[in-house]
Amino acid sequence: MGNLKHGMRHTRLYETFVNMKTRCYNSNNSRYKLYGGRGIKICDEWLNDFNTFYEWAIDNGYNDTLTIDRIDPDGDYEPSNCRWVTWQTQQNNRRNNHRISFNGQNHTLAEWSRITGINYGTLVARISGRGWSAERALTTGGDFHHQRKR
């Protein structure tokens, strides 16, 4: 990393910066296959200049309760593809999420669970286990464990 001149080595933001680089460029990192191994890179303006990353982060709403998120999970770490979000928002932006479209809205099963009040496990069982349509799964009330097979 060279000579640190920013005095932020022990901050959460600097840790985020280092972890981002490690995921993308260190093939010994356990998460490399999900990032660098898939071709995810860090833009040149951030890669070797923490101060530039820091300025972007502060100008774009960073605080210690948020996490960096790539808007397009297949895109690189760069200003136009990154944002600061809650952990919950980031979890809803994962590539492996099961997304359901219903009534012109597209959400993950976890989001639909919060929207409808139907237990997440119930929705998974209805859609993946029983093969219910999105409409049936999202509009049938009650708890799965108390329903008979229809």
Q: How confident is the model at residue 97 (pLDDT cuts 50, 70, 90)?
A: low
- What is the reported pLDDT for 146? 39
The enclosing H or E element of 84 equals: strand 82-85
Q: Contact 110/99 with Cβ under 8 angstroms?
A: no
Q: Which DSSP category does 6 fall into?
A: S
What digits encode the pLDDT tens for the residues 53-80?
A: 999 999 999 999 999 999 888 899 999 9
Question: Among the residues of 26-146, which ranges form H helices?
Answer: 44-47, 50-59, 87-91, 109-116, 120-124, 134-139
What SS3 class is residue 76? coil
3-state secondary structure of 67: strand
Select from 80, 78, 84 the least CA-distant residue to 57.
Answer: 84
pLDDT value of residue 114: 81
Residue 147 has pLDDT above 60, yes or no: no
Question: By C-alpha distance, which of 54, 47, 114, 45 is closest to 84?
Answer: 54
Q: What is the pLDDT of residue 105?
A: 85
